[in-house]
Amino acid sequence: MKNAIRNVCAQLLSATGFTLAAGCFSLAAVPAAQAADPVKIGFLVKQAEEPWFQDEWRYAEQAAREKGFSLVKIGVANGEKMMAAIDNLAAQKAQGFVICAPDVKLGMAVERAAKRNNLKVMSVDDQLVDGSGKPIASIPHMGISAYEIGKQVGQGLIEEMKSRGWNVAEVGAMRMAFDQLPTARERTQGALDSLKAAGFPAANIVDAAQAKTDTESAFNAANIALTKQTKFKRWLVFGMNDEAVLGTVRAAEGRGLRSDAVIGIGIGGSKTALNEFAKPSPTGFYGTVLISPKRHGYETSVNMYKWIAENKAPAPLILTTGVLMTRRNQTDVRAEFGL
């Protein structure tokens, strides 16, 4: 319908000049969704069981209640489920969706499926890439400022190591890597760079690669790495999220390395981290960089709603920040974040 109006306007513009046509453009700008057309938005996440994504959903629901749209939450653990979910949204007459895809390389498939079904699409957390690995700029994205947040992790590790007076020669640093995901690679690269900038010896840095982004995969990868590395008595631990660090901390505990021998700093700050902080005595999970599930869940949904209902396109790229949170300051930091 809108296209038809635009075509008529274009013809009028060439035939009659600007004044008459100007009215047409305001006509063409009527909201895409009319009152009879209730707004429905999908929120698709790659790992529905992970607390971070549950928090995102919770805040998306808050947005739905406040703005009066319906929210369809779907876990999309693999490409097949993702494609089925997008088609299903269209069948339910949704007008758009926010997605954290199971694999960023599915970017072009996501964009095509959205176009085919006339759905607006935004990505969250993991930015979608095209066939050559370049971010797809036409899909608005909200993610974390991965490299900067990684640097905060590294600085936190160094500071805590210094305040404990550890002898650096005995300390290994474990990078729990998931390098196929750009945001994960940037996060651990940031941490690495700040360790190196602080003079931490490159030879003491050990890489372990997790097969998936959950606690169990990190646990398995850390076990293998720790078996090979017997010369370090103490460890700094970092990775892409809280689960990566928690899995590594658990593997270290299995070898008798406890909170006095391990400093782990994750990224996230939802239940995974809070459960650790709630334990009666500290564990090797020393801290996390708290990021905002509220911005990622609430704000993306509101932006999608405005795009559908008010024809206001979202900003192409928003990168959110984080703050180091430990057992000690958790209440204040969470309050600061409005959580």
Q: How far apart are CA 185 and CA 180, in angstroms?
A: 7
- Grouping H, G, I as helix, E, B as strand and the rest as coil, residue 234 is strand
Q: What does DSSP assign to residue 36?
A: T
Closest to ligand GLA by CB, 73 or 234: 73
Shortest Cβ 177–ligand GLA spacing (Å): 13
Binding site for ligand GLA (CB under 6 A): 50, 52, 100, 125-126, 143-144, 183, 213, 241, 267-268, 291
Shortest Cβ 51–ligand GLA spacing (Å): 9
Shortest Cβ 149–ligand GLA spacing (Å): 9
Closest to ligand GLA by CB, 40 or 187: 187
Closest to ligand GLA by CB, 50 or 299: 50
Closest to ligand GLA by CB, 50 or 276: 50
Give the residue carrying structure tokens 């599930």. Answer: 293
Shortest Cβ 271–ligand GLA spacing (Å): 12
Residue whose C-alpha is closest to residue 192's, from 201, 256, 135? 201
Residues 304 and 279 sit within 8 Å (Cβ to Cβ)? no
Shortest Cβ 187–ligand GLA spacing (Å): 8
Q: How far apart are CA 251 and CA 249, in angstroms?
A: 5
Closest to ligand GLA by CB, 113 or 267: 267
Shortest Cβ 62–ligand GLA spacing (Å): 18
Residue whose C-alpha is closest to residue 289's, from 260, 330, 236? 330
- Grouping H, G, I as helix, E, B as strand and the rest as coil, residue 58 is helix
Does the CA dihedral 271-273-278-283 come out positive or negative?
A: positive
Closest to ligand GLA by CB, 183 or 301: 183
Q: How far apart are CA 111 and CA 270, in angstroms?
A: 30
Shortest Cβ 214–ligand GLA spacing (Å): 9
Closest to ligand GLA by CB, 144 or 261: 144
- What long-range pairs does 222-225 form, CB within 8 A, spacing at least 24? 222/174, 222/176, 222/247, 222/248, 222/250, 222/251, 222/252, 223/251, 223/254, 225/174
Shortest Cβ 189–ligand GLA spacing (Å): 15
Residues 66 and 11 sit within 8 Å (Cβ to Cβ)? no
Give the residue carrying structure tokens 């500071």. Answer: 159
Residues 137 and 255 sit within 8 Å (Cβ to Cβ)? no
Shortest Cβ 53–ligand GLA spacing (Å): 7
Closest to ligand GLA by CB, 64 or 267: 267
CA dihedral 265, 236, 243, 272 (to 10 degrees): -40
Closest to ligand GLA by CB, 117 or 320: 320
* Residue 41 falls in which region: left (phi positive, over 0), alpha (psi -120 to 50) or beta: beta
